[in-house]
Every structure is written in C-alpha cells, then in structure tokens.
Structure 1
Amino acid sequence: MFVSLASLLVFQPEFREQFNLRIGRLSLLLVFFNNRGGYCDLGRCPFIGEGFVLMHGFGTVINGSAVIGKNCTILHNATIGAGNGGSPVIGDNVYIGAGAIIIGNVIVGNNVKIGAGAIVVENIPDDSTVVSQKSKIICR
C-alpha cells in the first residue's frame, strides 16, 4: 500500500497536489515530493469544498485566495487567478474545461459549465454554460 501511494506521489502531479491539499502539507515526506515536477500550482487554497477533482492537472494554476465550492471539476491548463481587486468565487457543481481562464473578482454560480478555452472576466449566473467565441482569421 505504501509503495502504491509513493508511486502516485512521484509520478502523478495532480494526485500529489490534491493529496497535499487534503492533508494540509503536514508530512515531511511530501516536502521531498513537492520539489519534483511542479506541474500544477494550487497555492494554499484553504477555501476548496469537498468533492474537488483536478483532472490531468498539468499546467493548472489556482490562486490561494480563490473560493471553490463543492463538487468542482477542473481540467488541465486552467487558470483561476486574482485581478481587478479580488479572486474568483466559484459555486457548487461547476465544471471548468481545459485551458479555461477565470480572472478577477468574479462570481461563478452553481451548476455552471465553462468550456475549453473560455475566458471569464464577468459574473456567471447559476445553471449557465459558457464557451469561447469561434476562432477567426485575422491575417492571410
């Protein structure tokens, strides 16, 4: 069992970050593992609700003062960052797609889906889906 845990801590950075988040960085063993890789940055994140899932956490950055509700799923390369006077507040049952960016003092409601590559800088009401605009050619 210890061998399985150790291999997950070494080879799965998203597991390592979630493990650190849940035990509060108390283990001296984790000090060694935290210096290896650095694939995702969860800050201190004291305000993350239960049921948090970080899928393929490579490149994910979450500001330490962000508030994340229960049952939030975040895919790889997402950014939840501070700006414009504060950090995001994310509700319960929120899905954040790959490469999505949520920046500033915004409120994301409950049961929201944020699509891949979306940039969120304004409040999102409950039960909404947000996607990025269709790409366009600007030069030939």
Structure 2
Amino acid sequence: MIHFLADLRSKQALYEQYGERCSLLRAVFTDGTSANALYRLQAALARIGLAPLALLPHWVNKVVNGCVIGVRAQFGPGFVLIHPVGVVINSAVRGGRDVRLESGVVIGDNRGGVPVLGDGVFVGSGAKVIGGVCVGKGARIGANAVVLHDVPAGATAVGIPARVLAPKRADGAT
C-alpha cells in the first residue's frame, strides 16, 4: 500500500509539471492507475509467498488494462504506468524509484538477460528495452526506440537500434 501511495504521488507530480494542480483523487481516476494498483497487489501477493494467487490480479490487469507485468517484476515506489495498454514487462525485470512508462512499452528478456532500470527513468510510447541492459538513473528512452545496449545515467536514447544522443551544452551548441 505504501508503494501504491508513492505511485499516486508520482503521478500527481507528473501532471503538475504541466502547471495544473492535480489532486490525489484526480490521480486515482486517471488512465493507468488501475493497472498500477493491480501490479502492486500481485507484487505484494508474490512477496508474501502467494505467487499462485498473484496470477488473479495479473490476469485481470491483462484483460481490463491490456497490460502484462510479470508476477515477480519489481519496481520501487513512484512507479507510473502513464497509459498501460500494450505494456509487457518480464517477471525478472528490476526498476528503481519513479520509473514512468508510456503505452506499448516492452521490457523483456533476451537469452536470460533482463533489463535493470535506474531511478527516474522514462520510457516513451512503443519503446523496447531488451536483454541484460542497464538504463541509468534519470535516463530517457524515446518513443519506439529499441534499446539493446546500456544507456548511461541522464542520457537520452532514440532510434532503432537505440543510440545515445550527445548531451546539449549550456551554450546551446551540440
């Protein structure tokens, strides 16, 4: 329950960054909140040794939200599914605090290697993060990118296959 409250507060902060106040109640009724709640329920059931029972909220999430998150996937507090439709996450994936995912994101296994996402990571619509890669703290993955290699902290990765963009300099030059 504590992580779910942190998820809602992170969602509030996401909406408020656009300049409009967002109440906790509004955050509850926005797209993706039911998927977050079902994920947190299945994760809690798995954590206390009731993995078979965790398959029920897992199945409901798939049917109701079009979102498949492996029963043993772990994300820190502040996890936000901005739009859950088409999200698929492998059971062995680990994510830090304040991870935000758009619709159609796939985070999956390749030959036994699974991604690890650091704190404050954003993954854009349709992006794929595949295999034993590390996405560093504060990294951003662009829409439809296919990440097959590590992404450094604070970097932005775009394209197929994804490449890390050169950081912008303070004087505006690249």
Specify if TM > 0.5.
yes
For 1:20, which of 35, 38, 41 is the aligned residue? 38
Amino acid at match of 1:42: I
Question: What CA distance in whole angstroms lies between the structure 1 residues aligned with 2:99 and 2:155?
Answer: 15
Question: What CA distance in whole angstroms lies between the structure 2 residues aligned with 1:61 and 1:106?
Answer: 17
1:96 matched residue in structure 2: 123
1:78 matched residue in structure 2: 105
Question: What CA distance in whole angstroms lies between the structure 1 residues aligned with 2:82 and 2:91?
Answer: 19
* Counterpart secondary structure, 1:37: helix
Amino acid at match of 1:49: G
Contact persistence 2:73–2:90 (CA under 8 A): no
* Bigger proportion of residues as helix: 2
State the percentage of identical aligned residues.
Answer: 35
Distance 1:132 1:22, change over 3 A: same
For 1:115, which of 142, 164, 168 is the aligned residue? 142
Unaligned runs of 5+ in 2: 1-24, 46-52, 161-174
1:66 matched residue in structure 2: 93
Please tell me the root mean square deviation across aligned C-alpha atoms, in Å: 2.6
Amino acid at match of 1:96: V
Contact persistence 1:58–1:76 (CA under 8 A): yes
Moved over 3 A (4+): 30-33, 35-38
1:56 matched residue in structure 2: 83
Question: What CA distance in whole angstroms lies between the structure 1 residues aligned with 2:73 and 2:66?
Answer: 20
Amino acid at match of 2:108: G
Amino acid at match of 2:37: F
Deviation at 1:23?
2.6
Greater shift in the superposed pair: 70-79 or 30-39:
30-39
Amino acid at match of 1:37: V
* Counterpart secondary structure, 2:107: strand
Cα deviation code 1:17-73 (max 9, x no counterpart): 2112223375x9x94881743501011144211000001111110111000110000
Contact persistence 1:107–1:122 (CA under 8 A): yes
Unaligned runs of 5+ in 1: 134-140
Amino acid at match of 1:66: V
Cα deviation code 1:82-135 (max 9, x no counterpart): 0033110010000100000000011111010100010000011111011116xx
